[in-house]
Structure 1
Amino acid sequence: MAITDWPEDERPREKLLEHGAAALSTAELLAIFLRTGIQGKSAVDLGRELLTAFDGLPGLMAADERRLSEVKGLGRAKIAQLGAVLELSRRYLLTQVADQDCLTSPEATRDYLRLKLYGLPYEVFACLFLDNRHRVIRYEVLFTGTIDGASVHPREVVRRVIATNAAAVIFAHNHPSGVAEPSQADLRITQRLKDALALIDVRVLDHLIIGDGQGTSLAERGLL
């Protein structure tokens, strides 16, 4: 049954206007952007299918166009609509982080980095460059590939810190396996970077490891 055949108070758009966005399920919110379903499936059904296929909203938000195009019923128009709303979410979170001290908004910082790194099939090492009030100057991917002492170069990190005039940094990298526990290589490279940046009076505030769930903060673990 098409959504237009549903009782008016059950249709996602009308429900949102009447009760607010918080009253809708994630699948119903997706349905508003998808607009239409496919034969035999409403837009809400398609939203549920997407959430199942990508293991929830974080996986869907990290999916690229190639993976989305493999879902039956997702043409270029729907993929563009999804891409737009997901990018808006990322930009909103970045403004939340950028407008305040990262140390006073750790959840917004973590959510933003999860949206950038979760679900990637390869490892990415990224950095939030911060000013002396711990506000975001910029986000930048520094290295890709296997993260170990050979692939993350402290000299290059120092060069980028100087170029951005950063006073502090937050590092983040993902584990494609989904396991967000720090490895010995993670701990070693964090210490090397911390030592290198200490020479130019730049603080490493945290190193987040992004996997399934909320990720792991080395600062919260007392490992910095």
Structure 2
Amino acid sequence: MAIRDWPQGEGPREKLLQRGAAVLSDAELLAVLLRNGAVGMDAVDLARRLLVEFGGLRALFSASKQQVCRLQGLGPVKYAQLQASAELARRLAGESLQRGQVLTSPDLTRNYLRQQLADRAYEVFAVLLLDSQHRVIQFVELFRGTIDAASVYPRELVALVLDKNAAAVIVCHNHPSGVAEPSQADKRITDRLKNALATIDVPLLDHLVVGDREIVSFAERGWIG
């Protein structure tokens, strides 16, 4: 049975309009995004299949175009719909940490970085630039790809800090594996960046590693010093 043939008020879109989005299940919310199903499946059935196939929303939204489009009922259009909704969620989260906001709460910083980085299927190395009062100047993604001591160039960070007139820095990156425990390469990168910033008298306040369930802080572990 297609969703349009469901009893009035039972379709996910109608439920959302009448009772609010919070009452919908993950599959029903996903069905609203997908709009229609596939041969032999309505949108809700297709959504349920996707959640089972990928193991949840996070894995689905971080999956590649190739991984998504290989499944029956999906193609570039539906992949684009999923990616657009994920990017909107990241941008909405980004509004919680606007230029001029003081970083008074570690939880605020963690929540922001989790929204920005936790669902990426690839590694992203980024920096939070702060002024002398630890107010946000800008969040900048420096590069994407495998992160090791050879791929992070301290001079690029120093140039960015000077260009934006930043007075303090927090660096961060994600682990697509979901495990936030820092590697030895992460520690070497941190030391190199800290030493480079010291030449222009700008402190590195922290290096945060983002995983699925945890964000590890170098400062909290006493590794910044």
Same fold? TM cut 0.5: yes
Number of equivalent positions: 221
Kept in 1: contact 2:93–2:116 (CA 8 A): no
Q: Provide, for residues 2-23 of structure 1, a one-character-per-residue CA deviation record: whole Å limited to 9, x for no partner.
A: 2222233331111111221111
Structure 2 residue aligned with 1:109: 112
Post-superposition shift, 1:157?
1.4
Kept in 2: contact 1:97–1:136 (CA 8 A): yes
- Secondary structure class of the residue paired with 1:66: helix
What letter matches 2:81 in structure 1?
Answer: Q
Kept in 2: contact 1:148–1:189 (CA 8 A): yes
- Gap change, CA 1:50 and 1:152, over 3 Å in 2: same
- Gap change, CA 1:29 and 1:135, over 3 Å in 2: farther
Post-superposition shift, 1:89?
0.8
Query: What RMSD in Å do the two structures reach over aligned CA positions?
Result: 2.4
Post-superposition shift, 1:103?
4.0
1:54 and 1:15 mapped to 2: Cα distance?
Answer: 25
1:39 and 1:168 mapped to 2: Cα distance?
Answer: 55
1:103 and 1:41 mapped to 2: Cα distance?
Answer: 49
Structure 1 residue aligned with 2:20: 20
Kept in 2: contact 1:179–1:211 (CA 8 A): yes
Structure 1 residue aligned with 2:156: 156
2:143 and 2:76 mapped to 1: Cα distance?
Answer: 30
Q: Whose helix fraction is larger, Structure 1's or Structure 2's? A: 1
2:146 and 2:172 mapped to 1: Cα distance?
Answer: 14
- Secondary structure class of the residue paired with 1:92: helix
Identify which range, 160-169 or 57-66, moves more after superposition. 57-66
Kept in 2: contact 1:37–1:43 (CA 8 A): yes
Structure 2 residue aligned with 1:29: 29
Structure 1, unaligned runs of 5 or more? none
What letter matches 1:160 in structure 2?
Answer: L
Structure 2 residue aligned with 1:169: 169
Identify which range, 135-144 or 81-90, moves more after superposition. 135-144
1:71-82 → structure 2 map (5 Å cutoff): 71-82=71-82
Post-superposition shift, 1:35?
0.6
1:11 and 1:85 mapped to 2: Cα distance?
Answer: 20
Q: Provide, for residues 153-177 of structure 1, a one-character-per-residue CA deviation record: whole Å limited to 9, x for no partner.
A: 2222111211222222222223233
Structure 2, unaligned runs of 5 or more? none
Structure 1 residue aligned with 2:127: 127
Kept in 2: contact 1:96–1:108 (CA 8 A): no
Structure 1 residue aligned with 2:87: 87
Structure 1 residue aligned with 2:64: 64
Kept in 1: contact 2:117–2:173 (CA 8 A): no
Post-superposition shift, 1:46?
1.9
1:154 and 1:194 mapped to 2: Cα distance?
Answer: 9
1:131-146 → structure 2 map (5 Å cutoff): 131-146=131-146
1:205 and 1:109 mapped to 2: Cα distance?
Answer: 17
Post-superposition shift, 1:118?
2.7
Give aligned-pair identity as a percent.
54
2:66 and 2:136 mapped to 1: Cα distance?
Answer: 31
Identify which range, 10-19 or 98-107, moves more after superposition. 98-107
1:173 and 1:157 mapped to 2: Cα distance?
Answer: 14
